[in-house]
Amino acid sequence: MKNLVIVESPTKARTIGRFLGADFEVIASMGHIYDLPKSTLGVDTQHNFDPQYELVKDKKKTIDTLKKAAKTADRIILATDLDREGEAIAYHIAQNLGKKDAERIVFHEITKEAIDEALASPKKINQDLVDAQTARRVLDRLVGYKLSPILWQKVRRGLSAGRVQSVALRLIVEREREIEKFRKENYWTIIVSLSTTNKQRLTAKKSEISSERLEVGGTPFDLTEIKGEKIEINEKLDLYDGQYKFTKTTIDTEKRAKEIEADLASQGDALRGYVVSDVLKKETRRTPPPPYTTSTLQQDAARRMGLSGKRTMQLAQKLYEEGYITYHRTDSVSMAEAARKQMADYVKKEFGEKYLSTKPRYYKATQKNAQEAHEAIRPTKASIQHEAVSAELGPQFGRLYELIWRRAIATQMADAITESTSVLVDAGKGAYTLKANGSVLVFEGFLKINPYALEDKRLPDFIAKESLDFISALSEAHESLPPPRYNDASIIKTLEEKGIGRPSTYATIISTIESRGYIEREEGKFKPTSVGFAVNDFLVANFSSVDDIPFTALMEDELDAVANGTKKWVPVVEEFYTPFEKLLNGMKDVARVKIAVEETDEDCPECKKGNLVIRTGRFGRFLSCGRFPDCKFTKPLVQETNLTCPKCGDGASPPSLRSGVSGRGKIVIKKTRRGRKFYGCSNYPACTFAAWKLEDIKKEQPAPEVQPNA
């Protein structure tokens, strides 16, 4: 009996093939075989939004191979991914082969056990999931192909818009405008260094204040109250409304800070000036976080590995297809009982029973539409270590696998136990209240496998009612900080919280608006370009009902309802398109948007009349004459930094870096062909020095030359 198994990728086909016998042939479809045409809308808006799918041009050879194999197969099994995208691929393959009754199997991990279990209980193609994917594809095509020409007419040729991407752009633009409006405020905090009268007791607390500023042997206490009034620093940021509120501390001038500092110092000379009023101890249990979902994995990979969402998903895709982790596009935190038991057995064997959770730990998803039938991201085998993955696939794969492994294994481990201590000190008989916090890790529990475990912040054994010796008082000036720009982690977290997109879309949302030149990365954070500002302002002004966070989140709910079988996809699309079409028809009289340009003091070398300005095009920023279109002079924009190249012009460098170079070059900002920013030498190609981060270059800057005395 011959069995034909069809998957998406060659890697997945090879991994599955290892678990199946000679009776099985596994072939990859190489992704989608059908798609909407690129040159036309491809959606019949007059007849129930019928999508005009056509065979992808470069898939003819793949289809011929599939058809040839299907003719002699006794059983056709569609084993594409278990999300809507995978269901749509399976549906189109079945349609093309004329095998509507083809078997459908799904699995969360590519292991022999999971494959055997899936083959034993095949299903039919889930039409509701196919319809949900069709609805999303149609909606995105309608917005992209109907709205993009409007942008060409009203903003600039070559621009494009997306239903979900435009909302992400709006978030980033609104955050940037809030930063621009921000006005910093000054405030002061005061730290008092005290020591116990028992000179043998030394503090073990690591102060955040430098050792030069507090005498050795003292414990730093924060001033928290003045005559019973709490000193508060309250910073609040509303991510949607963009409102950033800052409540100042009561110490808002340097004069006031110095007066308090002097008064605190005078209390040290008074009898019983500093007395421990209370010592509060509390045992705290810290529970391990839930296993990773797509969103939380991308956030942690961004924070700890500096990866973009797109790169994280590329690595996770490979780990999944090679059989190392479960399916990586998920919003569920559930884990199969067999997996839970396997990890618990591993913990008991490797660390001992005291590190094992006393009872099974279950997590509940916070997303309202989380698919609990899916599983969280976890290793397929608890015994596989990251070193083995690094050796097989490379170090970056190993590091991401290690994150996933630690997070999953920790869920079956005991709570970490911490004893927290707060020491309150009365100064000047009620004039001031000081506070110091410490903590001791009593039992590490799940933190045993966590390299980011908390360190002890141990305080001396203070005793209530004892007097303390004054050492020093120090006031520190601070400035209120503007709301931070979004980075990969924070924008994904915000999109998830607002219900924008789904696990399979987070990475593409950001990479799309970045590749379009609407945003750029500046030290790892997202900043809108002048084109991004212009596009966003036009969409907000004229398509506010579409480019709207609650509305976009509602559309995601509607697509989920289609996937769950409670709504039909055509009415959902129609409900969106009817008012959208009216907005499109009203664009004729809308004024054209002018993209802001940044002026320079450089004269145009061609017409000699205008100044050069910085514009943004398809391939990034460039210089052009401000008199365009009367003068069409352009030239590349080279952005210099104030740093010199640490390699070229250096006698210690290899000759390959010095050839043809006289003196050190300047570090300039460049971009790769795919638009990623990096830093290189202005003497290229004679010097090929390059770095991704500016901090790495600063570390290598040469020491300033010392001029001899005249």
Query: Taking every pair of C-alpha atoms in the chain, what is the biggest distance, in angstroms?
Result: 99
Tokens found for residue 11:
């890697």
For residue 36, the SS3 value is coil
Cis peptide before 579 (omega within 30 of 0): no
Q: How many angstroms separate the CA atoms of 364 and 356, rounded?
A: 20
Active site residues: 327
Cβ-contact 191, 222 below 8 angstroms:
yes
Please report, to the nearest 10 degrees, the dihedral formed by the alpha carbons of residues 696, 697, 700, 701 taken in order. -150
Q: How many angstroms separate the CA atoms of 507 and 294, rounded?
A: 10
Q: How many angstroms separate the CA atoms of 486 and 493, rounded?
A: 10
Q: How many angstroms separate the CA atoms of 522 and 66, rounded?
A: 47
- Angle, nearest 10°, between helix axes 506-515 and 165-181? 70
Cβ-contact 378, 335 below 8 angstroms:
yes
Exposed e or buried b per residue across 440-473, where buried means at least 16 C-beta atoms within 10 angstroms of its C-beta: bbeebbbbbbbeeeeeebbbbebeeeeebbbbbb
Phi-psi region of 345 (alpha: psi -120 to 50; beta: other; left: phi over 0): alpha
Q: Which of 35, 31, 32, 37 is nearest to 145 (CA)?
A: 37
* Local structure of residue 163 (DSSP, 8 states): T
Phi first, then psi: what are they for 527, rounded to 5°?
-130, 130
Q: What is the DSSP string of 372-434?
A: TTS--B-BS-TT--HHHHHHHH-HHHHHHHHHHHHHHHHTTBPPEEEEEEEEEEEETTTTEEE
Q: Where are the alpha helices (DSSP H) in 155-268?
A: 165-181, 254-267
| DSSP-derived pairing of the beta strands 54-55 and 432-443 | unpaired
Q: How many angstroms separate the CA atoms of 387 and 395, rounded?
A: 8
Cβ-contact 321, 393 below 8 angstroms:
no
Q: How many angstroms separate the CA atoms of 63 and 625, rounded?
A: 52
Q: Which of 477, 476, 475, 474 is nearest to 185 (CA)?
A: 477
The 3 state secondary structure assigned to 479-513 is ECCCCCCCCHHHHHHHHHHHCCCCCCCHHHHHHHH
